[in-house]
Amino acid sequence: MLLLAALGLIAGVLTTIAGMGGGLFLVAVLTVLHGPHLALTLTTPALFVSNGHRAYMFRRDIDRRVAGMVALGAIPGAMVGGLVLPALPPLVVTSLLVAVTVVALLRAWGFIKLKLRARSLAAAGAAVGALAATSGGAGLLVGPIVLSTGLTGLSYVATVAACAVALHLGRIVGYGAAGLLTLDLLPSIAALLAGLLLGNLVGRRARDYIPKKIEPKIEIGALVVSTALAVVGLVR
């Protein structure tokens, strides 16, 4: 329980500072420890509440039009992905996790760029929802979509959090319908959530002291570690 809380703390700080990276880090570590199916199931309810907390903290900065359009596709997409997850072999799920982390790292380095029109946001949200439900990394998948609309700074962090709330809601419904979410997981989910909420608060304070030019380096560092952990999980 202490380890889960500590991992949640790190993930909360990372995501609140850089806007993304914490959730994927959490899934990558737990995949190594417990396998991909349990990692995705454990983290989703905690990340749902954590992103809701972050969205509330920065609620004045949310671009509601962007968040609404992405959510329109993300919720049903994530529900479908959650229903499909139990049928996927662990090797396939972990391979998807590796692919997501590598793509996210290439995007952070500038090798992959994404530009979307407003009418494409819902379709992109649906695709991201389905992929996130089967591989994790919701923030890293939603982040490029929100960035493509031109949002930056706190507006970017807040809108990503709002989109992630919708996406995780779809995952919870899908995982619940598939029988993956059970009562015996509640203590572990609670430990993760406690760490994530504390990490959100610590990260919010840290934003006042960390120069903006450092934030991308933190994001890339988190992605490098997550990629390495995802590869370890695949080999394992």
pLDDT recorded at residue 74: 92
pLDDT recorded at residue 119: 66
CB of 136 closer than 8 Å to CB of 40: yes
CB of 223 closer than 8 Å to CB of 108: yes
pTM of the predicted protein model: 0.82
CB of 15 closer than 8 Å to CB of 139: yes
pLDDT recorded at residue 223: 67
Q: How far apart are CA 7 and CA 23, in angstroms?
A: 10
From residue 141, alpha-carbon distances to 20, 41, 54, 70 in Å are 9, 18, 17, 11
Other beta carbons within 10 angstroms of residue 44's beta carbon come to 29
From residue 172, alpha-carbon distances to 28, 45, 150, 215 in Å are 19, 7, 30, 30
pLDDT in tens, the chain (236 residues): 899 999 999 888 887 876 667 787 888 888 888 888 898 999 999 889 888 988 998 999 999 999 999 999 999 999 999 999 988 888 888 787 777 777 767 776 777 676 666 668 888 889 888 888 887 766 667 877 887 787 877 888 899 889 989 999 999 999 999 999 999 999 999 999 999 889 988 988 887 777 777 766 776 776 677 667 667 766 66
Handedness of CA 59, 21, 30, 1 (dihedral sign): negative
CB of 157 closer than 8 Å to CB of 58: yes
3-state SS record for the chain = CHHHHHHHHHHHHHHHHHCCCHHHHHHHHHHHHHCHHHHHHHHHHHHHHHHHHHHHHCHHHCCHHHHHHHHHHHHHHHHHHHHHHHHCCHHHHHHHHHHHHHHHHHHHCCCCCCCCCHHHHHHHHHHHHHHHHHHCCHHHHHHHHHHCCCCCHHHHHHHHHHHHHHHHHHHHHHHHHCCCCCHHHHHHHHHHHHHHHHHHHHHHHHCCCCCHHHHHHHHHHHHHHHHHHHHHHHHC
pLDDT recorded at residue 91: 82
